[in-house]
Structure 1
């Protein structure tokens, strides 16, 4: 077999479709180790991701960094040489400590900050703790999100749910960018997690999809505002990625078929998304700002 054959991989076969049988998990914040309870464990890149010093000695703040995409990004960043501040929801301590272990195994420092970012003071405190511990912030990843599928659509979305989704997905991003900005220097990077839902909204996720579209618009506007300061702002828009959020917030029938509708025919894995964050955080994307990178298995993201 040639070297080319060994490195070339069929993306439809790189990962199996999760065999879930519609499994259900506790809601976010209700269990210390949701990842540990998953029948099909996500691939965060534990056995495959190899760093190349793209982020040597940088400091990254990652919200929702305890599991799923956040854990995969923390793993990749640390193997690229970054220290990582991991913000996570109170009650998910086991997952958070496992992510910290992964970062420390890469020879980097991990700071765990249990918090609920729906409050402005919590966002300010997170930035203050990061700066107190490391002296600066080089990369801000606004990845924390909340969703709860409502099969009945708009009539079933309560004001309480809408408020939580908006505060977690939009308000926290706004506040964190605002309070981190004085500590960001030229060459720093802000990366916001959007979604394929931003342009292809599912009726049962109407409130969540609305916030993801808002994240895209915020990203582009902030990128224009900060370009002259040498600070880049971009977004990653994942498609159906197999994370604890899926069996914790979707009905069994949606979980069982999750990701099969994509052109590649399967759900993605967190490790397959993390590389987009690395690219946007690294000098390799020095001429990229205000952009959205879609990691969707072929699902379109058009805005």
Structure 2
């Protein structure tokens, strides 16, 4: 592909077709247009050769794009995902193994403390160690005004988006050696919150504080901690959020006039996991189509 491709028209621009997902967190198959995870476009150059990575939410969307890119850069990967996402996880596994790397699939619910422990233990046991921890799994739902959210729904979002990353880091810390990297999926919602994503935006803002505090602490151990802040990215989570008109115009308000694709985020995660970012820690890297953090 030419390096001078117009970023405004590289992918589909709104209006996006109306579509439906049966529930959270959504699956890839019914999406139109299909998200691009870099299946045909990403070319690796051994930037992560020999690494072992754990990617939560690695079955689809941003997680799949990161898994594909990491594998093509020479890393073995473990992916965690909900059991309902098995079909997507199998496709991610196929893409990773086609790149000649190992893929460990670990289904389960990260809201459960014992599963967080199992995810890290299996990754270390089956891959022989852990070099990069990608805390990517998350959930969101459209909310009504006046904070009219059921307590159980608040806890579902907080436990998935906030509690699980802390538990995973706790379990992974003893296995993270000097030179290891932790990468957190934050969001433009961390800085520019939408009222109808009230609880989700709260968790993403907290993840920025988590990243910065952890980077300060872990630097003394030689472990780098950074975050990526995606803007509007076309993943199954978007039509599963509960929007109708907002899906149709998703990403239209960015300077580039369209939503981003998962493949357009993969390079940011590769960079932060690589030796090229050896002096980068505590950073929040925006990939937002031009929207300001």
> How does the TM-score come out when normalised to structure 1?
0.94
2:199 to 203, 207, 211: 207
Q: Report if the CA contact (8 A) 1:18-1:40 is conserved.
A: no
User: What is aligned with 1:94?
Assistant: 87
| Mean CA deviation greater in 18-27 or 287-296 | 18-27
2:106 to 108, 113, 118: 113
Cα-to-partner distance string for 1:20-60 (whole Å, 9 max, x where unaligned): 3321112126x7xx201112100001111000100001100
Unaligned runs of 5+ in 1: none
The residue matched to 1:247 in structure 2 has which SS?
A: coil
User: What is aligned with 1:285?
Assistant: 277
The residue matched to 1:112 in structure 2 has which SS?
A: strand
User: What is aligned with 2:16?
Assistant: 20
Distance 1:82 1:135 in 2: 12
Q: Report if the CA contact (8 A) 1:62-1:142 is conserved.
A: yes
User: What is aligned with 2:72?
Assistant: 79
Is 1:7–2:11 an aligned residue pair?
no
1:54 to 47, 56, 64: 47
Q: Report if the CA contact (8 A) 2:51-2:75 is conserved.
A: yes
Q: Report if the CA contact (8 A) 1:153-1:206 is conserved.
A: no
Distance 1:155 1:12 in 2: 36
Distance 2:29 2:292 in 1: 32
> How does the TM-score come out when normalised to structure 2?
0.97
The residue matched to 1:91 in structure 2 has which SS?
A: helix
User: What is aligned with 2:35?
Assistant: 42
Q: Report if the CA contact (8 A) 1:19-1:40 is conserved.
A: no
The residue matched to 1:147 in structure 2 has which SS?
A: coil
1:272 to 264, 272, 285: 264
How many residues matched?
293
Q: Report if the CA contact (8 A) 1:153-1:205 is conserved.
A: no
Q: How far does residue 167 in structure 1 lie from its aligned partner after superposition?
A: 0.4
1:65 to 53, 58, 61: 58
Q: Report if the CA contact (8 A) 1:61-1:130 is conserved.
A: yes
Q: Report if the CA contact (8 A) 2:58-2:64 is conserved.
A: yes
Unaligned runs of 5+ in 2: none
Q: Report if the CA contact (8 A) 2:15-2:249 is conserved.
A: no
Q: Report if the CA contact (8 A) 1:22-1:251 is conserved.
A: no
